[in-house]
C-alpha cells in the first residue's frame, strides 16, 4: 500500500452571492460536488445567525458556480427547520449523495426545538428544490448520542459505508455504519479510528470528506481537536473496505491562522472535497462563519 503525504498549495476564500436572508448570516459546512451543465459545481451550505443573534441553528441552501470559487444561491433555502420536532430548532451539516438516476439523498443534522439534541436525518428528491424530508437516518443510542455529520461512500465491492460523529464521555468521536443502499437502513458497525494521546487530535474527532479516486486506498480529511475544542484538519487513509488504517498524518494539514485573542473561535473544519484535473480542492469553514477552498497536492511513495 502506498505511503501518502499532502501539502497545501494555496487557500482562497469562497464567495457566495444571494439574498439578504442568506448573506446576512454566517456560513459553514460547504458541501461541494460536480454536476453537468454551464455551472459544473454545486454546493449545499449551512447558514446560521451571526454570533449573538437569536434564531435557528441553521438553514441549508443550494448554490451553483462556474469556477468552484464564486457561487450564486437560490432565492430560498432547500431545507428549513420543522415542522417535525426532530429538526424544529435547525438544519445543519449537509452531505449530498448523487444517485445514478439523477436523484439525491441529502443527509443533514436536525436539532430539536430546545437546542438540546441533534439527530442524523435525511431527505430525498429529484432536485434540490424538490427535497422531501424522510426522518431519522440513524438513531442515537445510549452509548452514542447526538449522531450527526454524515460521510458516505460505496466501496469497491459495492457495500455502503457511513461515517458519523457521535458524543460519548464529553467528547466527539467517529463511528461507522453499513447499509445495502445509499439511503440505508444503516446499522452501527464499529469505531474506525480513535483520538491519539499527546497529539493535536487527542480528544475530539469529527468526520470529514473522502477522497476516493483511488478506491483501493480512500482518504478521509477528518477534523480533530484537543479537549478545549481547537479544531484542525488532518487526513487518514484506509484499505478498500475500510477495515483497517493504512496511513495517517502526524501534524494537521490545515489550521486557522493565529489570533491575538486566545478567546477567539479557533476552528478549521473540513466539509467536502472535489478532484479537478488532478488538483484536490478541499472546502472548509473557518471560525464557524466563513468558507474557504484549499488546493492540495498529493505525494505517494
- For the chain, residues with pLDDT lower than 50 are none
Residue 261 has a pLDDT of 65
* 3-state DSSP of 227-295: CCCCEEECCEEECCCCCCEEEECCCCCECCCCCCCCCCCCEEEEEEEEEECCEEEEEEEECCCEEEEEE
Q: For 114-144, what is each residue's pLDDT tens digit?
A: 888 899 999 999 999 999 999 999 888 878 8
Angstrom CA distances, 74 to 43, 44, 71, 128, 267, stand at 11, 11, 10, 10, 28
Residue 264 has a pLDDT of 64
Residue 52 has a pLDDT of 80
Distance in angstroms between the alpha carbons of the first and the last residue of the chain: 9
Residue 183 has a pLDDT of 87
Query: What's the pTM?
Result: 0.96
CA 232 to chain centre: 14
Determine what percent of the chain is predicted with pLDDT higher than 70: 97
Residue 30 has a pLDDT of 98
Residue 266 has a pLDDT of 82
CA 17 to chain centre: 21
Amino acid at each position: 500500500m502506498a505511503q501518502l503525504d499532502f501539502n497545501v498549495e494555496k487557500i482562497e476564500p469562497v464567495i457566495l452571492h444571494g439574498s439578504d436572508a442568506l448573506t446576512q448570516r454566517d456560513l459553514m459546512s460547504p458541501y461541494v460536488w460536480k454536476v453537468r451543465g454551464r455551472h459544473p459545481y454545486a454546493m449545499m451550505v449551512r447558514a446560521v445567525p451571526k454570533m449573538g443573534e437569536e434564531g435557528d441553528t441553521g438553514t441549508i441552501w443550494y448554490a451553483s458556480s462556474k469556477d468552484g470559487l464564486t457561487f450564486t444561491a437560490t432565492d430560498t433555502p432547500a431545507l428549513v427547520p420543522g415542522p417535525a420536532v426532530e429538526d424544529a430548532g435547525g438544519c445543519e451539516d449537509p452531505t449530498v449523495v448523487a444517485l445514478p438516476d439523477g436523484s439525491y439523498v441529502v443527509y443533514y443534522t436536525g436539532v430539536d426545538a430546545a437546542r438540546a439534541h441533534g439527530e442524523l436525518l435525511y431527505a430525498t428528491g429529484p432536485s434540490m428544490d424538490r427535497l422531501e424530508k424522510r426522518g431519522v437516518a440513524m438513531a442515537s443510542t445510549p452509548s452514542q448520542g447526538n449522531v450527526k455529520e454524515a460521510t458516505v461512500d460505496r466501496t469497491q465491492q459495492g457495500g455502503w459505508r457511513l461515517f458519523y460523529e457521535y458524543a460519548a464521555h464529553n467528547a466527539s468521536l467517529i463511528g461507522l455504519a453499513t447499509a445495502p443502499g445509499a439511503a440505508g437502513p444503516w446499522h452501527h458497525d464499529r469505531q474506525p479510528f480513535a483520538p491519539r494521546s499527546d497529539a493535536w487530535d487527542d480528544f475530539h474527532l469529527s468526520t470529514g470528506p473522502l477522497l476516493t479516486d483511488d478506491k483501493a486506498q480512500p482518504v478521509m480529511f477528518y477534523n480533530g481537536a484537543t479537549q478545549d475544542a481547537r479544531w484542525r484538519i488532518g487526513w487518514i487513509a484506509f484499505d478498500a473496505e475500510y477495515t483497517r488504517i493504512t496511513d495517517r498524518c502526524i501534524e494537521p494539514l490545515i489550521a486557522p491562522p493565529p489570533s491575538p485573542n486566545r478567546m477567539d473561535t479557533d476552528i478549521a473544519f473540513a466539509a467536502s472535497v472535489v478532484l479537478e484535473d488532478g488538483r484536490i480542492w478541499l472546502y472548509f469553514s473557518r471560525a464557524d462563519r466563513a468558507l474557504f477552498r484549499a488546493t492540495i497536492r498529493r505525494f505517494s511513495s
